[in-house]
Amino acid sequence: MAKTKSEAVQEFEYKAEMKQLLHLIVHSLYTHRDIFLRELISNASDALNKVRFRQLTDKNVLDPEADYEIRIEVDEKEKTFSIEDTGIGMTRDDLINEIGTVASSGTLEFVKKMQEEGKPLDGNLIGQFGVGFYSVFMVTDKVTIETRHADPDSRGYRWVSDGQGTFTIEEIEKSNRGTKISFTFKDDAAEFASADRIKEIIKKYSNFVDFPIYVNGQKVNTIEALWHKPKDQISEEELTEFYKFLTNDFNPPLAHLHLSIEGAVNFKALIFIPETAPPLFIRETFKKSLHLYSNKVFITDESEELLPEYLRFVKGVVDTEDLPLNVSREVTQSSPVTAKIRNVLTGKILGFLEELAQNEPAKYEKFYKNFGPLFKTGVNTDFTNRDKIINLLRFETTKTGKGELISLKDYVQRMKDDQKGIYYLSGETREEVENNPNLEYFKKNDIEVLLLTEPVDVFVVPGIGEYEKKPLISIEKADLDLKKDERDDEKLGTALAEGLMKIIKETLGDKVEDVIESKRLVDSPVTLVVGKEGLDRQMEKMMKMMNRDYTGSKKILEVNLSHPLIKNLARLNLGDSSHPLLRKCILQLYEGALLIEGNLTNPNEFVKRMTEIMEEATKG
Ligand code: ADP
């Protein structure tokens, strides 16, 4: 809360979370300290974009004739630095609310976790979390902001902070629009107090900023809209540099796509697929996926309508002359032009991924491992392009090594002639699914099964329904139409089997939906499967996570009539159906199957019964 220091200067305290984050920035970030400059320039550029956009429709701003520019002054002797822009400026409220708070609530947790895990805290991370301004505290102990908002009746303010616990705000005389940020470099950051060094950093990170940047009066950046250049005149280097500028990524992109579309809709675009997913990627929104320009004037980087959600991993620029300039960002969102661009872009990106998959499979696999979990959801949301997306899906199977992926097309090509469908099994990890007893039949008969271990798979794969007329079938379902087991001769006789099934049903009562003979088990005596209407185990787990009251459906117990233990039990039953060991063993088998599933709720009884059975077995 505000405390009055003197009449004119008010002191504010940072929120606890902000204080902790600042502490981490000041005391833990030692690599890439030069990004402080990138962040300051990027904020200045954002502010200039905002005022330029506003001036398209509203002439009533402060200094309407001012050039859009960024001026940096650096003094080698005094070790001082300042950056001034003619952008939108900040109101008093902006200084309190925009500068003094952490944008994303996950930031602090994430940074702390990295630190706890002993991972190096990289200055670059800060820029990705929307606390870019505070990176200046890596190089200075005290910062002053002087600013005045573009509203003609705004006032000027000075904000000062040492980045510890508090900041102050006072009203000042400031005649021109925009923001000036100034400070003195700390001793251990004195290397940055050099015009040459500053110019070098600008070339490295900020060369594509839309506005001229001057250092001690000299212009340093080349302003050009790269996407307007003909394809063959853009070098690989320029592309990489531009990508890094757009995304703050330190690595080059995995792949890029340059589009120049003319026809029902006209636009140019430069689209990139990053090599790695940024931290917090899944939780991130559309922010900074695509930057939308209208005839080289930046409009927004938060458009949610330019791309479907499942493609928001791409980065890049879209520039169109078809959007009316005198509209608000909101109208831009709902414009039919935006919808047309979206359709064309989606088709082009999917086509591009198809090419990548075909011509550069290693790259495609890299893409898929990073962004697959998001990309896959397109199967459920984009009905127009569903088939294309399904063709782009990749899976591990019982016949691939860990991490090796195949397509459904590959699967169908090597399917057995009499195979009824495409089999899949879901679980948490590859190890877990591989040990699932339901796989035994498939292993023995050399039938390939897709192994699904991604949480989204349970929503995506059942939704596919069928591929090339082959149904997708969960091998956890009881109605699997499998061939008769060739070991029939080893199986229990009918009378013995019927007797045993009856006693199992009696013993388990309404714990299970049914007890049936299994065709899929080889080495295990029993397994639990779900009925026609039931959900897979993995699906059930998700349901339970989303709804605490969800209890799941009853399972069907499948019994392997060729298993020695089952045969022993059948004989025991014939001799003395009230033998105490019989019921104990049946309960133990059932609960053992629950245990494998991770659904055993009462391990005490299970262990107690096991002890009794062992005692009985060792009686001598
Ligand atoms: P981010 O830029 O990611 O939002 P920052 O911490 O760098 O995070 O900046 C916080 C906010 O402060 C900006 O979103 C903007 O509203 C405001 N701001 C920072 N620098 C300027 C500037 N030069 N001109 C106007 N507003 C600014």
Query: In the chain, what are the domain boundaries?
Result: 2-219, 226-370, 395-474, 488-617
Tally: H helices and E strands in the chain? 21, 23
pLDDT of 137 higher than 80:
yes
Query: HSE of 481 in the Cβ direction (CA atoms, 13 Å)?
Result: 8
pLDDT of 546 higher than 80:
no
Residue nearest to ligand 1 atom 3, measured at CA: 130
Ligand 1 atom nearest 85 alpha carbon: 23
Percent of the chain with pLDDT over 70: 91
Q: How far is the CA of 144 from the centre of ligand 1 (A)?
A: 14
Q: What is the pairing mode between strands 140-148 and 255-261?
A: unpaired
The residues near 72 (Cβ < 8 Å, ≥ 6 apart) are 81, 82, 83, 84, 198, 213, 214, 215, 216
DSSP string computed for 563-592: SHHHHHHHHHHHH-TT-HHHHHHHHHHHHH
**Superfamily classification of domain 2-219:** Histidine kinase-like ATPase, C-terminal domain (3.30.565.10)
Q: How far is the CA of 378 from the centre of ligand 1 (A)?
A: 34
Q: How far is the CA of 187 from the centre of ligand 1 (A)?
A: 26
Scan for tokens 């940055």, then name that residue.
192
Nearest residue to 26 (alpha-carbon basis) of 132, 183, 188, 134? 134
pLDDT of 1 higher than 80:
no
For 60-96, the pLDDT digits (tens) are 999 999 999 999 999 999 999 999 999 999 999 999 9
**CATH (residue range 488-617):** 1.20.120.790
For 444-463, the pLDDT digits (tens) are 889 999 999 988 898 899 88
- pLDDT given for residue 434 in this prediction: 92
DSSP string computed for 412-458: HHTS-TT--SEEEEE-SSHHHHHT-GGGHHHHHTT--EEEE-STTHH
Q: How far is the CA of 288 from the centre of ligand 1 (A)?
A: 15
Ligand 1 atom nearest 134 alpha carbon: 6
For 395-454, the pLDDT digits (tens) are 999 999 988 999 999 999 999 888 989 999 998 899 989 989 889 989 988 999 999 998
Residue nearest to ligand 1 atom 19, measured at CA: 43
Helix (H) or strand (E) holding 235, with range, is: none
pLDDT of 277 higher than 90:
no
368: tokens are 């898929």
Exposed/middle/buried for residue 469 (C-beta within 10 Å: 0-12, 13-18, 19+) = exposed
Helix (H) or strand (E) holding 548, with range, is: none
For 356-365, the pLDDT digits (tens) are 999 999 999 9
- Using most ligand atoms within 8 A of CB, pick from 43, 53, 108, 131 the residue to mutate for ligand 1: 43
* Separation in Å, CA 354 to CA 59, 258, 349, 480: 48, 16, 9, 33
pLDDT of 286 higher than 60:
no
Nearest residue to 176 (alpha-carbon basis) of 260, 51, 322, 11? 51
pLDDT of 567 higher than 90:
yes
Q: Is the CB of 48 under 6 A from ligand 1?
A: no
Instruction: State the Cα–Cα distance between residues 240 and 536, nearest whole angstrom.
Output: 45
For residues 526 and 558, the answer to whether their CB atoms sit within 8 Å is yes
508: tokens are 């388990």
Instruction: State the Cα–Cα distance between residues 512 and 503, nearest whole angstrom.
Output: 13
- pLDDT given for residue 489 in this prediction: 62
Q: Is the CB of 47 under 6 A from ligand 1?
A: yes
Instruction: State the Cα–Cα distance between residues 55 and 210, nearest whole angstrom.
Output: 16
Spacing of C-alpha 508 from chain mean position = 44
pLDDT of 283 higher than 60:
no
Q: How many CB atoms lie within 10 A of CB 236?
A: 9
pLDDT of 487 higher than 60:
no
For residues 88 and 54, the answer to whether their CB atoms sit within 8 Å is yes
pLDDT of 30 higher than 70:
no
Would you say the CATH fold of 488-617 matches that of 395-474? no
pLDDT of 175 higher than 80:
yes
Q: How far is the CA of 433 from the centre of ligand 1 (A)?
A: 48
For residues 168 and 159, the answer to whether their CB atoms sit within 8 Å is yes
Percent of the chain with pLDDT over 90: 57
235: tokens are 């070098």
Q: Which pLDDT band, with edges at 50, 70 and 90, does 371 fall under?
A: very high
* Separation in Å, CA 176 to CA 88, 153, 316, 594: 11, 12, 34, 73
Q: Which pLDDT band, with edges at 50, 70 and 90, does 326 fall under?
A: low
For 80-136, the pLDDT digits (tens) are 999 999 999 999 999 998 886 765 566 677 777 777 777 766 666 665 565 678 889
Q: What is the pairing mode between strands 290-294 and 514-517?
A: unpaired
Instruction: State the Cα–Cα distance between residues 448 and 556, nearest whole angstrom.
Output: 24
For the domain made up of 395-474, give the CATH fold: Rossmann fold (3.40.50)
143: tokens are 């910062």
Average pLDDT, the chain: 88
Q: Is the CB of 131 under 6 A from ligand 1?
A: yes
- pLDDT given for residue 222 in this prediction: 79
- pLDDT given for residue 25 in this prediction: 76
- Using most ligand atoms within 8 A of CB, pick from 98, 126, 157 the residue to mutate for ligand 1: 98
For residues 264 and 256, the answer to whether their CB atoms sit within 8 Å is no
The residues near 495 (Cβ < 8 Å, ≥ 6 apart) are none
- Using most ligand atoms within 8 A of CB, pick from 104, 133, 135, 145 the residue to mutate for ligand 1: 133
Residue nearest to ligand 1 atom 11, measured at CA: 98
Spacing of C-alpha 599 from chain mean position = 29
125: tokens are 């991370």
Mean pLDDT of 497-518: 93
Q: How far is the CA of 98 from the centre of ligand 1 (A)?
A: 7
- pLDDT given for residue 617 in this prediction: 86
Q: Is the CB of 132 under 6 A from ligand 1?
A: yes
342: tokens are 């979206």
Ligand 1 atom nearest 129 alpha carbon: 3
**CATH (residue range 226-370):** 3.30.230.80
* Separation in Å, CA 468 to CA 92, 290, 415, 426, 472: 63, 35, 12, 22, 10
Q: Is the CB of 534 under 6 A from ligand 1?
A: no
Residue nearest to ligand 1 atom 4, measured at CA: 130
